[in-house]
Structure 1
Amino acid sequence: METMTFEELLEINCYSKDESEKAKAVELLEKWFGCEIQCEQIDRSVLFAHHARGCTIVAAKLSQGVVIYQNVTLGSNMRYNNIQNNWENMGSPILAENVIVADGAKILGPVTIGKNTVVGAGAIITKDIPENSIAFGVNQYKSKNPAYDLVFKQPMPSGEEIIEVDRQRIREFDNQ
């Protein structure tokens, strides 16, 4: 296992029936990539940008076409009610088809993020978000403009294309 790629370790972590093999994959994912990934259901098409660096992913379900960027947290938002002596708000997020979660976003609690939704960078979400939305800030959202795909769409521009755009921007900046 010491020479496995992120994708190979993820496969073992999410789908292996061998608990000792799975435990080793969990350990190596955290050691090499600084991520923790625990999902009750995860579709094989789910993508993690930048090898899920800095992510803590504890989710009920990640559906087909989900893309998660770096430093994202999906997890619980439980609280203990001392008066009634029980836990409340139990459960983990469900991300529907084609949800994109941008850098540093936090999705906490038993919430559902509707299909084709983009959760913006740094967003903090503790409430359900309807499909075809852009979620941002703290529990804010607006309808997604169907004329645009945001953050992730194949084919992505090449690194060379992005570098050339940045070089042009630098030339324009330096000539001001």
Structure 2
Amino acid sequence: MFSRIKDDIQGVFHRDPAARNTFEVLTNYPGLHAVWLHRASHALWRANWKWLARTLSTFSRWLTGIEIHPGATLGRRVFIDHGMGVVIGETADIGDDVTLYHGVTLGGTSWKAGKRHPTLKQGAVVGAGAKVLGPITIGENAKVGSNSVVVKDIPDGATAVGIPGRIIINKQQSQAEVNPKRDKIARKYGFDAYAVAPDNPDPVANAMGIMLEHMHQMDTKVEEMCKVIQALGGDVCTDNLHNLTAEDFADTGIELAEKQQNAKGDHQSFDPSI
């Protein structure tokens, strides 16, 4: 028991830079208190002391603001940061080194008995206010963005954002590798309008990028047609179209990609707590 408590405390130091010393963590981290009380209530639940298990779980909720059903299974070094408003259902299965932020719900989508809550594999992170619903699986080291609603499986190492949760491409495979043509357009225009930049994580904006790429291809074809018609003596396409630049988007707040890169660094890290 004491080795697991020591593990839990070390897990806090690894994942929370605000933690200063062991005594502070022991006395002021309700996420840890909720996990420790859950272990006791879970043991009672498995011993078929159901009422007593639920009563201890209710006391834990009063004390910490975190509701964990005694039937849920928690692995080692599970860290519930801040914790207020977290709800974990009866058949939830949480692996080692999982991190949950405040307002997270691991809920069900059915009133039928049996497995109806999520499974979170090792190292998964669920951001503040996110809802993970149903008997789905969140893969190893996967992430759920803040306030997202996830109702489908997330593969290992991927990230889901939005309502409903949409899978963002894994960090190991950049947009430039998926579509080098779009990356070329991004470099040509010098800004990340409509997610043509390879590091833009928004799936909806990436869809806009696909449309922009299609428009670029249509422009190329029209230009080729105009050259052929002019070679045959036709008087068409005599006026040049205005070339888009970053300045055309100044009123939208879009900046040059280079300036953004210098301001933000190579890539912003995932921050689920805001």
Shared fold per TM-score greater than 0.5: yes
The whole-number CA distance in structure 2 between the counterparts of 1:125 and 1:10 is 25
Of stretches 30-39 and 65-74 in structure 1, the one that deviates more from structure 2 is 30-39
**C-alpha displacement of 1:47:** 1.0
CA contact (8 A) 2:106 2:133 kept: yes
Match of 2:95 in 1: 63
Partner of 1:124: 149
Residues 46-81 of structure 1: per-residue CA shift (max 9 Å, x gap):
11111x2101111431011111111100111127xx
TM-score by length of 2: 0.45
Instruction: Point out the structure with max Rg over C-alpha.
Output: 2
Tell me, which stretches of 5 or more residues in structure 2 are unaligned?
Answer: 1-26, 173-266
Higher strand share: 1
- CA drift of 1:122 comes to 0.2
Q: Is 1:36 aligned with 2:67?
A: yes
Partner amino acid, structure 2, of 1:120: G
1:11 maps to what in 2? 39
Matches within 5 A, 1:1-176: 5-16=33-44, 17=47, 19=49, 21-38=52-69, 39-50=71-82, 52-58=83-89, 59-78=91-110, 91-137=116-162, 138-145=164-171, 150-151=270-271
- Aligned residues, how many? 142
Structure 2 distance, partners of 1:7, 1:96, is 17
- Distance verdict in 2 for CA 1:115–1:148, change over 3 Å: farther
CA deviation string 1:105-148 (max 9, x = no partner):
00001111111111010000001111111111012011342588
**Which blocks of at least 5 consecutive residues in structure 1 are unaligned?**
80-86, 153-176
TM-score (norm 1): 0.68
* Closer, same or farther: CA 97–91 of 1 in aligned 2, 3 Å: same
CA RMSD between the two structures = 3.0
* CA–CA distance in structure 1, aligned partners of residues 52 and 113 of structure 2: 34
